[in-house]
Chains A and B, each alone.
Chain A
Amino acid sequence: MRKNWLDLFQQNQLARVLESNNYTEKFGLVLNQQDAKLIMSERDTILKEQERIELGQPIISKIIYEFCDSSYIQQSEYVETLIKLQEIFYLYKNEMSDEITDDELLHFMKEQFESICYGDLEYLEGTVLNNFAQAVKAGYRDYKQTDGYGEYLQFDEVKRWDYELYLEALKELCWR
């Protein structure tokens, strides 16, 4: 009875992950049954590593819907990227001592993945999220008002691209 219930629960979770294909295929991203199983089994490992349990809906569904329109994710590395994003997500849920909600963290991750990291997951994990987590640990809570959007620049230690300077240099080069 107990085993049947667990099987049913796992099947239901797999179905939910596969259901996301209906939405993601327009971005050229699709998961097959095996991919979904691999992602779920990696999730179990990560949850054990990070000492967490999932209460209901798997976070991977939310990750898929959040990241599927990214121009930096291709079908060829779709599964690996999802697994890594899942791992980073749980790592920083713990790092920020659950002070941040799932949606706030996902919004933050997606925005930086696109605009600061240009698809570099290592930079997202090792630098961007690390800087932000330190601020959250120190008591920063303004992301509650912004839902995690537009938060990183104030913690960024790197001088980013200056568009005005770029345009000025371009004008000079072209008109010389």
Chain B
Amino acid sequence: MNFKMEDLTSIVLELGEKLSGFENTSISYKKLQQLMEAVIYCIDELENNANDSIISNNISAKQVYELGYEQVINKVKLSLDIYNKLIPKFNGFENKCLIDTFINAIPNFFKYYDARFNPQSTILTLDYPILKDISMYHGVDKIYIYLKCISLEQEFLNQFHSKYIINILYKSNKDYKNTLDNLCYIVLLNLIGHIVIKKPITQSFEETDYIKIKKLFKVLDSTNIKNMLIVTLKNYYKNNNELLEYFIFAINDMSVRIENAVKFNCLNKLFVY
């Protein structure tokens, strides 16, 4: 959809009047820019999410904006649904960053999000890092994807006993309660270690296991390690495509770390339990 600047400007000015509550006769460029971004965000939201039947060629910019705004509101509701479903089974594994982000920060998004005048603002810094890069997203789009990722992480972590997870986290970093690392990454790496040498996860790694892992990866460069990890995960998570797709985001980083750990003989720092 290509609209003329005049079409968008009239929506922006209308929003400006609403924002000022008809008590101000002027508005700053900064506010206008924010409102223009709000209009574009809503229009993009419709373009990215609605099916073609909704968007006909004769539709005006104002109508597209209003439909996009409805999409934004729907996404807020969807995000809230994900959050509410996740809360009862959420486990932060004593990690302050995860607990703070999920329990304390996310509700503030729903409290302060302004879909009409500032939908492009994410409000939160989302300090707990997830595996997927979501830096290109803003506003409710970012929160929605973030919550879906946290949901997948919780699904993965809750497969294991809480004590088992905490044990791995502790062995990986004694200060695991204050770490800013992704918890899932550490556990997944250990799981991969067990899968490749076919060892039950209940048994911790021994010296002979590190020799086996080294032997396995020594002949491979990071690209081949990456391919091997993908195949391993595909076999293990063939029934859970969503989780598999999410873990793929961590594979690049993992393969480089494994390659280096093999090279410098420190596999015990990666595969901790």
- What is A's interface to B at a CB cutoff of 8 Å? 47, 50-59, 62, 90, 93-94, 98, 101-103
A-B contacts counted at CB < 8 A amount to: 48
Tell me, in angstroms, the Cα distance from A79 to B207 when the chains sit together: 90
Q: Is the CB of A52 within 8 A of B23?
A: no
B24: which A residues are within 8 A, CB to CB? 55, 93, 98, 101-102
- What is B's interface to A at a CB cutoff of 8 Å? 13, 16-17, 20-21, 23-32
Q: Is the CB of A51 within 8 A of B23?
A: no
Tell me, in angstroms, the Cα distance from A50 to B27 when the chains sit together: 10
Q: Is the CB of B28 within 8 A of A58?
A: no
Q: Is the CB of B29 within 8 A of A59?
A: no
Tell me, in angstroms, the Cα distance from A47 to B28 when the chains sit together: 9
List the B residue with the shortest CB-CB distance to A93.
B26
Q: Is the interface of A mostly helix, strand, loop or mixed?
A: mixed
B26: which A residues are within 8 A, CB to CB? 47, 52-55, 59, 90, 93, 102
Tell me, in angstroms, the Cα distance from A47 to B17 when the chains sit together: 17
B32: which A residues are within 8 A, CB to CB? 53
**Closest CB of chain B to A108's CB: distance in Å?**
14
25 contacts between A and B (CB under 8 A): A50-B28, A52-B26, A52-B27, A52-B28, A53-B26, A53-B29, A53-B32, A55-B13, A55-B16, A55-B17, A55-B24, A55-B27, A56-B25, A58-B25, A59-B26, A93-B24, A93-B28, A98-B20, A98-B27, A98-B31, A101-B23, A101-B24, A102-B24, A102-B25, A102-B26
Q: Is the CB of B28 within 8 A of A102?
A: no
Q: Is the CB of B25 within 8 A of A59?
A: yes
Tell me, in angstroms, the Cα distance from A56 to B20 when the chains sit together: 12
Q: Is the CB of A57 within 8 A of B28?
A: no
**Closest CB of chain B to A58's CB: distance in Å?**
7
**Closest CB of chain B to A106's CB: distance in Å?**
11
The 3 closest A-B pairs by CB, nearest first: A101-B23, A51-B29, A54-B26
A53: which B residues are within 8 A, CB to CB? 26-27, 29, 32
Tell me, in angstroms, the Cα distance from A50 to B28 when the chains sit together: 8
Q: Is the CB of A98 within 8 A of B25?
A: no
Tell me, in angstroms, the Cα distance from A56 to B17 when the chains sit together: 9
**Closest CB of chain A to B11's CB: distance in Å?**
14
**Closest CB of chain B to A145's CB: distance in Å?**
15
Q: Is the CB of B25 within 8 A of A57?
A: yes
Selected contact of A102 from candidates B13, B17, B23, B29, CB within 8 Å = B23
Tell me, in angstroms, the Cα distance from A56 to B23 when the chains sit together: 11
Interface centre among A50, A55, A94, A102, by most chain B C-beta atoms within 10 angstroms, is A55
**Closest CB of chain A to B26's CB: distance in Å?**
5
**Closest CB of chain A to B175's CB: distance in Å?**
37
Interface centre among A47, A57, A90, A101, by most chain B C-beta atoms within 10 angstroms, is A101
B23: which A residues are within 8 A, CB to CB? 101-103
A90: which B residues are within 8 A, CB to CB? 26
A54: which B residues are within 8 A, CB to CB? 25-26
Tell me, in angstroms, the Cα distance from A23 to B252 when the chains sit together: 75
List the B residue with the shortest CB-CB distance to A51.
B29
Selected contact of A94 from candidates B21, B25, B28, CB within 8 Å = B28
A51: which B residues are within 8 A, CB to CB? 28-30
A58: which B residues are within 8 A, CB to CB? 25
**Closest CB of chain A to B159's CB: distance in Å?**
48
Extra contacts, 19 of them, besides A53-B32, A59-B25 (Cβ < 8 A), are A50-B28, A51-B28, A52-B27, A53-B27, A53-B29, A54-B26, A55-B17, A55-B20, A55-B27, A56-B17, A59-B26, A62-B25, A93-B24, A93-B26, A93-B28, A94-B28, A101-B23, A102-B23, A102-B26
